[in-house]
Structure 1
Amino acid sequence: MNNSSIERTITYAVLILAAAFALYPMLVILFTAIQPESIGASGVDFGNFATAWDRGNFGTYLKTSVIVTVSVVILSTLLACLAGYAFGTMRFRGSSVLFYLLLLGLMVPSEAIVIPLYFGFQELDLLNSYPALIFPQVAQSLAFGTFWMRAYFRSSQAEVVEAARLDGAGHFRIFWSILVPMGRPAIITMMVLVFMWTWNEFLLPLVMVPTEESMRTAPLGLATFQGQYTSGTALLAAGAVLVALPVIVFYIFAQRHFIRGMVEGSVKG
């Protein structure tokens, strides 16, 4: 066996071990979710998902999470693309200062601002509402999104942009007709990350939705369900699968562009 074969074997072995390490907890949860809830029963019980759905009110929680997450992803993507284009292709006074000021959003933890946000939205009478869940998360995602898209727009092909300008294209046409289609992998990568972060957010909904049960998101609803069924491990596992399923489905559909965007970002970085 030559050196290349040995290296290939070691690489595959490491990848298989890493995949097993990552998949083992998920398989355990999935296996637990289909176990019969009754003590001493055997076989599988897919009815645990329907039971958890009904008892845990996951239909309402998932609806709220979908509305909040989709709104955050759309607004964050739009604003991040516009800001990234401005910082990546335009030169104006104070651009560097504004950009690094925006990057402070990456350094401030959400725990440090959630209490001021609570009192601010309380003064505006917006607690237990969609704006209280959407706007703070858009602001949190905007710093990373701008940083990510600025890196893409700065590394985009300058000759293509110059050729478009010579043809009379303005900023909007260059942005919308040329750079956005070319940057689809980078944009989808950002959307997947923002989707996962927003869907899994727990602290902000916990603080911003203190009383209205119908406004609870899926992770917050799962925590409530856990408090009600601490001994029902199968139902808890079924609820966890229901909460995680939308993220998995979204990633499966976007994985090709997500991986391409991550690879291109690492190469350009």
Structure 2
Amino acid sequence: MSVYTARLARNRTGARRRGGYPVLIAFVLAALLMLAPFGLVAMNAVKTSTDYAAHGPLAWPHGLSLANLKTFWNLVDFGQVLLNSTLISAAVAILAVLLSILNAYALGIGRVRGRTWIIVAFLIANLLPQEGLVYPLYYLAKQVGLYDTRTAIIIIFTVVQSAFGTYLLSSVLGAFPREILEAARIDGAGTWRILWRVVVPISRPTLVVLLTFFFIWTWNEFLLPLVFLVSNQNQTVPVALGLAQGEHIVDVTMQAASGLLGILPAIVFFLIFQRTLTRGVTVGAVK
């Protein structure tokens, strides 16, 4: 009987494994389809114009040429542009997470009066299109002397991103275990100490996910930086790519090189924080 049971268990395990192969193959094919455009851009970025004209966009490059990458780097001063995007995105991510946790702590745990209406206001703020914010923000930036400065973009996106962060964290902290808070109060911890010593460490996975998303979302923003950062020394990567392709670049291989340089920093950032992001999402799902 035991031999029969063991054989039946092995058969079931083998059937489950065989049944998982189609799913694995489907995921591999989906991954290849998603990576295909990036591979095509990278392949054409290292071609010469002559090679592209002779063999087309789908042929493998006949030799590796970095001339287009160097030309575009010098054309838009990509080092300065990259620094601008990194500083703006990092500052917005850190400040937005800090503002979000402070707001959510008051709304989710502090239970301030009118909490529901405040959260609804944050939700409505998330639904406002950026096109509707351009003129009033432009007018305010002009009035306070912050137009064409990185500070203006940092302030704007800190408020915009923290609206979403507050809405999300308020629901998370609203379900925070009251027993832990009561135990901290019994031990003599005050409001600020409970926040920084109890709430923030336990909520760290969620905060790391927000930090990563805020950085990537700010990095990819185009409309508001296009309006507010008119000087070349203040432009971000998406703005520099858009303006350069429309004004200076007509060569397809140069466009591919600009696209490759524009997307590589975001990919590197995601790969660096991929494990932390995955752990944060997994821990949040388990909780």
CA offset at residue 228 of structure 1? 3.7
Equivalent residue for 2:243, pick from 215, 221, 224 = 224
User: Aligned AA for 1:194?
Assistant: F
1:203: which partner in 2? 223
Give the whole-Å Cα distance in 1 for the aligned partners of 2:19 and 2:190.
51
* Structure 1 residue 93 corresponds to structure 2 residue 113: yes
Structure 2 gap ranges (5+): 1-10, 55-60
The 8 Å contact of residues 80 and 146 in structure 1, kept in 2 or not, is answered as: yes
What residue ranges of structure 1 are gaps of 5+ in the alignment? none
**CA distance in 2: counterparts of 1:154 and 1:46, whole angstroms:** 53
Of the three residues 231, 236, 243, the one matched with 2:262 is: 243
Q: Distance in 2 between matches of 1:68 and 1:220?
A: 13
- Decide whether the 8 Å contact of 1:30 with 1:237 is kept in 2: yes
How far does residue 9 in structure 1 lie from its aligned partner after superposition? 1.5
Cα offset, 1:266, TM superposition: 4.6
The CA deviation string for residues 110-141 of structure 1, in whole angstroms up to 9 with x for no partner, is 11111221122222232111232111111110
Quick check: 1:80–1:145 contact (8 Å CA) kept in 2?
A: yes
> Who is 1:166 aligned against?
186
d(CA) in 2 for partners of 1:198, 1:154: 27
How many pairs align?
A: 267
2:37 maps to what in 1? 25
Pair 1:181-2:201 in alignment: yes
RMSD: 2.0
Q: Does 1:119 align with 2:127?
A: no
What letter is aligned with 1:255? Q
SS of equivalent residue, structure 2 residue 273? helix
Counterpart AA for 1:246: P
Q: Give the aligned partner of residue 233 of structure 2.
A: 214
Q: Distance in 2 between matches of 1:18 and 1:155?
A: 37
Structure label with greater radius of gyration: 2
Identity %: 33
The TM-score with structure 1 as length reference comes to: 0.91
How far is the alpha carbon of 1:267 from its aligned partner?
A: 5.3
Answer whether contact 2:150 2:229 (CA < 8 A) is retained. no
Q: Deviations over 1:181-219 (max 9, x none)?
A: 222221111011111110011000111124x22111110
CA distance in 2, matches of 1:203, 1:180: 33
Query: In the aligned structure 1, how far is the partner of 2:44 from the partner of 2:181?
Result: 54
Who is 1:108 aligned against?
Answer: 128
Equivalences for residues 54-93 of structure 1 within 5 A: 54-93=74-113
